[in-house]
Amino acid sequence: MKLTAVDQTSRPSMIRDITLAPSGHRKIEWASRHMPVLNILKTEFEKDQPLAGKRIAMCLHLEAKTAYLALTLRAAGAEVVVCASNPLSTQDDVVAALVEKGVTAFAWHGATPEEYDMHIAKALDCEPDALIDDGGDLVGMLHRERPAQARKIIGGCEETTTGILRLKAMEREGSLLFPMMAVNDAFMKYLFDNRYGTGQSVWDGIMRTTNLVVAGKTVVVAGYGWCGKGVSMRAKGLGARVIVTEIDPIKANEALLDGFEVMPMQQAAIEGDVFITVTGNVNVIRREHMAVMKDNAILANAGHFDVEVSKPDLEASAVSRRTLKNNIEEYLLPDGRRLYLLAEGRLVNLAAGDGHPAEVMDLSFSLQALSLLYMLDNQERLLPRVYNVPEEIDRKVAELRLRSLGVEIDRLTQEQERYLASWQL
């Protein structure tokens, strides 16, 4: 049953159950203790109130680390409204805790597609000044259904690769109506979140869901981008034989020199025990691949949308389907083979786990907070385009992270600065 709670801002939220809040508060406390950079920023923001009077809508995976970002923006003076960027990654206790802390929330775990869209619409009904998106659902609804409102938005920040691909498509055709910061493309984001965050949390999600050994299995990773590199590296560390599939010859060469086998999916499909798609593309595992897979093959996705493993093809290939265990769906094929889909083919690390480690999201969300402030501070000169995060912000997050770890690095001597800047030696 869904409950409507009233938060401290008097805006009605729509969440599962406000009485779940105590465990949500404890989860947020745990995450916040491992997010030192965001803690430093929060202390600065509490003093300076840089977001006073601003209303920010966030469409992100609603778990503890995201909650701490929402509370950080609130500490900066903003009114914060949240909705989910995936119906299965929402943690109802965390959302309840946010509402108790004065954040307006529209989300519950397992929302139907209609409910999911309704939550996004409700967040937009709050008339935000700026937004933080993950996968482009807020921006998409504003541009498709609410162009007049979109023209009033100051701008926003996008968290993930897939969202930025969509924004760049809109920018190319001239339909983007406000500036967006490409947070995913900052070094301190993709080098850590996509690679080490996805690398660890995907295996966490798969292992806690299946309770099976990884060592000795053949793992097929589709896509050797930043996420795929992390997933492959950790699979190797767990003792798996790793096969990579790619469509980009440069990435395929990288995978080879990193020590992995590379082959087309049609061939890998015969060999794999566990398949993980992480391409941002559609129908990467299809009917012809399913037709040759081993009995008991496990299929999981870590790309943003649940379109990488074709669910229509799985349905069409199977004679029956049943839920074997939470987040494990069994598809029985006519010849008696069984294929298992994890977490409905949605991001396995979030839908069947708690997402990236807090220390990694500390970096991504510190970039989000600083990029949002940059966008608001520069609103007069920013055009409706996709902007890279300025280098100073990337460096600030990197330096604060090192400072929080007590790690020092060398500085250039004057002689070295001169040497690097000259061409006559």
Ligand X SMILES: NC(=O)c1ccc[n+]([C@@H]2O[C@H](COP(=O)([O-])OP(=O)(O)OC[C@H]3O[C@@H](n4cnc5c(N)ncnc54)[C@H](O)[C@@H]3O)[C@@H](O)[C@H]2O)c1
- What is the Cα–Cα distance from 194 to 184, expressed in whole angstroms? 9
Cα angle 296, 198, 237; round to 5 = 65
Position 70 contacts ligand X (CB under 6 A): no
**Binder to ligand X among 45, 196, 203, 224 (CB under 6 A)?**
224
Q: Does the footprint of ligand X cover residue 358 (CB under 6 A)?
A: no
End-to-end CA separation in angstroms for the chain: 74
Query: What minimum distance in Å lies between the beta carbon of 179 and ligand X?
Result: 20
Q: Which residue in 86, 89, 200, 245 binds ligand X (CB under 6 A)?
A: 245
- Binding residue per annotation — 226? yes
Residue nearest to ligand X (CB): 225
CB of 356 to ligand X, least distance (A): 6
Indicate whether 157 belongs to the interface with ligand X (CB under 6 A): no
CB 134 within 8 A of CB 61: yes
Count Cβ atoms within 10 A of the Cβ of residue 323 and give its class: 0-12 exposed, 13-18 middle, 19 or more buried.
exposed
Q: Is 223 annotated as a binding residue?
A: yes
Q: Does 205 bind ligand X (CB under 6 A)?
A: no
- Among 13, 86, 104, 162, the residue binding ligand X under the rule CB under 6 A is 162
- Binding part of the chain for ligand X, among 9-17, 79-87, 107-115, 273-281 by CB under 6 A, reads 273-281
- Which of 281, 321, 344, 379 is in the footprint of ligand X by CB under 6 A? 281
Report the residue from 279, 310, 366, 368 that binds ligand X according to the rule CB under 6 A.
Answer: 279
Binding of ligand X by 284 (CB under 6 A): yes
> If binding is defined by CB under 6 A, does position 364 make contact with ligand X?
no
Handedness of CA 6, 11, 16, 19 (dihedral sign): negative
Using the rule CB under 6 A, is 14 a contact of ligand X? no
Of residues 58, 108, 106, the one with CA closest to residue 78: 58
CA distance 365 to 68: 9
Cα distance between residue 186 and residue 121, in whole Å:
29
By CB under 6 A, residue 196 contacts ligand X: no
322, with CB counted inside 10 A (0-12, 13-18, 19+), is exposed
**Contact flag: residue 288 with ligand X (CB under 6 A):** no
Say whether 330 counts as a known binding-site residue: no
Among 48, 248, 377, 392, binds ligand X (CB under 6 A): 248
- Tell me the pairing of strands 3-6 and 12-15: antiparallel
Smallest gap, in angstroms, from Cβ of residue 302 to ligand X? 4
Characterize the bridge pairing of strands 328-332 and 338-342. antiparallel
Q: Is residue 160 a contact point for ligand X (CB under 6 A)? A: yes
Is residue 223 within the footprint of ligand X (CB under 6 A)? yes
List the interface residues with ligand X, window 80-109 (CB under 6 A).
Answer: none
Residue 21 contacts residue 94 (beta carbons within 8 Å): no
- Residue 227 or 376 with smaller CB distance to ligand X: 227
Report residue 329 as tokens: 């769906």
230 is in an annotated binding site: yes
Contacts of 199 (CB under 8 A, 6+ apart): 227, 229, 230, 231, 233, 234
Token pair belonging to 270:
């015969």
Question: Which one of 85, 209, 210, 349 is in contact with ligand X (CB under 6 A)?
Answer: 349
**Is 246 a binder of ligand X (CB under 6 A)?**
yes
The angle, 0 to 180 degrees and rounded to 10, between the axes of the packed helices 249-257 and 226-237 is 20
Give yes or no for residue 156 binding ligand X (CB under 6 A).
no
Report whether 307 contacts 164 (CB < 8 A): no
CA distances to 134, 150, 156, 220, 386 from 182, rounded to whole Å, are 11, 18, 9, 29, 6
Where along the sequence are the contacts to ligand X (CB under 6 A)?
Answer: 160-162, 190, 194, 198, 222-228, 245-248, 251, 278-281, 284, 302-304, 347, 349-350
Binding residues for substrate: 134, 159, 189, 193
Binding residues for NAD(+): 160-162, 194, 223-230, 246, 281, 302-304, 349, 356
